[in-house]
Structure 1
C-alpha cells in the first residue's frame, strides 16, 4: 500500500514540479477553460476567442481566405454554431488472436448556442448525430452574472471533475465513469474569480437517463490557475440504490518551455455492490511537446489498479501520439498505444496503432 501511495505522490509531484480543445492547450497558453469554450468547464463548442485562436495560432500554415471576415462561430450576437467530426483508421494486435484493422467514424457532433441576452442568458445544445442515431449530450440553460464572476446552469451537462480529456478511453476518465459519454441531468453553479475556477453540480446520478431512486450525485471541482502552473482537486459522491460510489482526485499542470505537462490521480470507492466494497486507483502523467507551430508530440503513461485488495492485477497504458494541424480547423493524429495487464487477459495486453482525422468548427 505504501508503494502505491508513493507512486501517486510521485505522479503528482512529477506533473507539478517538472511538469475541441484538450486541457494541455490551456496549460500551454496559461489560460482557463472558459477562455476558449462556451462551457465554463471546457469541452464542446468553442467561443469566438477559441475559434480565433484555433484559426491563427494552432495551425502550421493558416490559409488566408482573403474574404475580410473569418469564421468565429458567431452568426450574430444571438446565434452561434459549431461542429466536430472524427474519423479514424486503426490496427489492433491482440495476443493469441488474429490482428484486425478497420476504418471508423468516431463521432460527428453539432453545437448550437442561442443567446437571449448576449453574454448573460443562453441555451446550449451539444448533439451527437453519428455514428448510430442522434444522441443529445448536453442541453442546458446558463445564466452569467453581469461581471461574469459566477454562473448557474440547469439541464443535461458534463460533470465537473478532473481534467477534461478528449480521450474518454483514458483510465482516469473510463474508471471514474465521468467523461464526455456520461452527462447527467441537474444543476451546476460555478465561480470564476481571479486565479480561481470552481464548480459544484447536483444531478440525478444516472448518466443522463431517467431518475430511478431518491439518491443524488454531487460533483465538485476547484482549480487555481497561474500562467505557468495550475493545481486542482475534485470530488464526486453518487448515492444510488444499487450502491454508493465516491471519487476523490488531484490534478495539476505545468509549462516548462515548449512542454506542457498534465497529471491526475484518482481514488474510487464503491460500496454495496455484489462482493461488498472495492477500492480502485487510476492515474495519468502526460507530456505535450510543441515541436513547432502545428506539431505536437504527446507522450503519456497511465496506471490502473482495479482492486486495492488484490495483488498483481494492475494495468498500465503507454501512448505516443503526433498531432499535426496543417491548416485551421483540421488536425491529423498518428499514434501507438501499448497496454500491459495481467498475462491471462489478452485484451489487457494489446497493441494499437491509429490515424485519426479531426475537423472542427
Structure 2
C-alpha cells in the first residue's frame, strides 16, 4: 500500500524556482537530489527553511572532515482513505530511509553513494569536473535526469498510481520509485544561466538486458522581469519508447508556480500518453507553505474515458531545522465515472541532515 504515497528521494524544485538557481546549489549531486552540500545543510536547512531557526550552529551538520560528508533522509507517513464513507482505513509506516556518503577526492574528482534501506536500491557514481568548460563527466548507477524530478512520485509525470489503481493499464509515467537505478554515463555543462545534460544508460525502462536509454535535458534558471524563473525541456528514447516534455516555474513575492507536461509514445501499447502537473504555492511565513495542485493523466490520447484528474491542497511546515511536517488532502476523478472519489489524507514527518 505504501507504493501509492508521496516519496522524496528527489530534490524540492520549488526552492530552486524561488531563488532562480539550479538544484545543485544545495546538493552534492551535479543534477540535484539526495545529500545536501555544506550550503544546503548549514545555510538553507538551518536559516532559510525553518520557522524557528536555531540560536547557534549545531556541532554536526554531516561533515566528517573537510572532504567527507554523510547524510540521511527519514520519512514516516500516515495515509487515511476510504472507498466507503462509513469506513475509513488508516495506515502508518516508514516510507523512506536513505543513507548517503560523499567523498571529495580532489578539487575535480568526487565519489558518491546512496543506499535505500527499505527498497534495497543503491546509487553510486564518480564524477570529474572540467573547470575550463564548466562541465562534468559522471559514471555509475543512477536514474536518468528528466523533467522537474519532483519529490512526490505519485504525481502522474513521475510514477503515478502504482498499486492502488483505478482500472487503467497505466496511471503515470515511467519514473516509478520501484524502478532501480541503472548503469549510466552522463555529461553536463553550465553555460551562463543554462544547464545541459546528456546521458546513455543500460535499459532504464526494460531493465539492464534491454537496449540503451538515451536522455537529454536543458534548463534555464535565472531572473526575468524581476521574477525568478525556471524553464526547460527533456527527451528520452529507449527502443520504440520515446518521452518528451517541457517544464517551468516562476516565483514572485510569496507565490511560486511550477509545472510540467510530458508525452510518451509506446508507453501504454502503441498509443501516446499525456501527463501534466501544476502547483501553486504560497509562503505564509518562513517555514509555512500552502500548496494547491492539479494533476492529469491520459493513458492514450486517441481514446476517450481513459484519463484521470486529481486536485490536492496541503500545507508544509518546517518547525525546526532538519524537521518537516507535511499534510495533504487530494481527490481523484476518473473520466469514465460520474462522481469524484472520496478524499485521501496524507500526514508525513521528514527528518534529514
Q: In which range does the TM-score fall when normalised by the shorter chain?
A: 0.7 to 0.9
Distance 2:156 2:260 in 1: 10
Q: Tell me, in whole angstroms, the C-alpha distance in 1 between the residues paired with 2:85 and 2:243.
A: 36
Other structure's SS at 1:349 match: coil
Asked if 1:354 is matched to 2:346, the reply is yes
From 164, 171, 187, the equivalent of 2:149 is 164
Structure 1's 116 and 206: CA in aligned 2 closer, same or farther, altered over 3 A?
Answer: same
Shift of 1:98: 4.7
In 2, are the aligned partners of 1:336 and 1:352 still within 8 Å (CA)?
Answer: yes
Shift of residue 298 of structure 1? 1.3
User: Per-residue displacement from partner, 1:24-45 (whole Å, max 9, x unpaired)?
Assistant: 0011111111111111221111
Q: How far apart are 1:349 and its partner, in Å?
A: 3.2
**Is 2:280–2:291's contact at 8 Å kept on the other side of the alignment?**
yes
More helix by share: 1
2:272 corresponds to which of 255, 268, 279: 279
Residue of structure 2 aligned with 1:129, choices 105, 117, 122: 117
Equivalenced residue count is: 326
Q: Deviations over 1:139-159 (max 9, x none)?
A: 111111235710011111121
Cα shift at 1:72? 3.6
RMSD: 2.2
* Cα deviation digits, residues 155-206 of structure 1 (max 9, x gap): 1112111001110110001123135553221201001121011110100123
Give 3-state SS (helix, strand or coil) of 2:65's partner. Answer: coil
Q: 80-89 or 200-209: which moved more?
A: 200-209
**Equivalence for 1:315:** 308
SS at 2:270 equivalent? strand
Residues 269, 277 of structure 1: 8 Å contact kept? yes
Asked if the contact 2:85/2:342 (under 8 Å) is kept, the reply is: no
1:266 paired with 2:267, answer: no
Contact 1:205 1:217 in 2 (8 A): yes
Q: Please list every run of 5 or more consecutive structure 1 residues that lacks an aligned counterpart in the other structure.
A: 1-19
| Cα distance in structure 1, aligned partners of 2:95 and 2:342 | 20
Q: Please, which of 271, 289, 304 is the counterpart of residue 297 of structure 2?
A: 304
Q: Quick one: distance in 2 between partners of 1:205 and 1:99?
A: 41
- 1:313 CA drift (Å): 2.0
Kept in 2: contact 1:156–1:208 (CA 8 A): no
Q: Is the 8 A contact 1:75 1:81 kept in 2?
A: yes
Q: Secondary structure at the match of 2:258?
A: strand
Listed as ranges, the gaps of 5+ residues in structure 2 are 1-9, 160-171
Matches within 5 A, 1:85-100: 85-95=74-84, 98-100=87-89
Deviations 1:196-222, CA, capped at 9 Å, x for gaps? 11110100123595x214x21001110
2:54 corresponds in structure 1 to 63
Tell me what 2:22 maps to.
32
Aligned to 2:140: 155
Q: For 1:171, what is the secondary structure of its paired residue?
A: coil
Q: 1:29 to 1:229 in 2, by over 3 A?
A: same
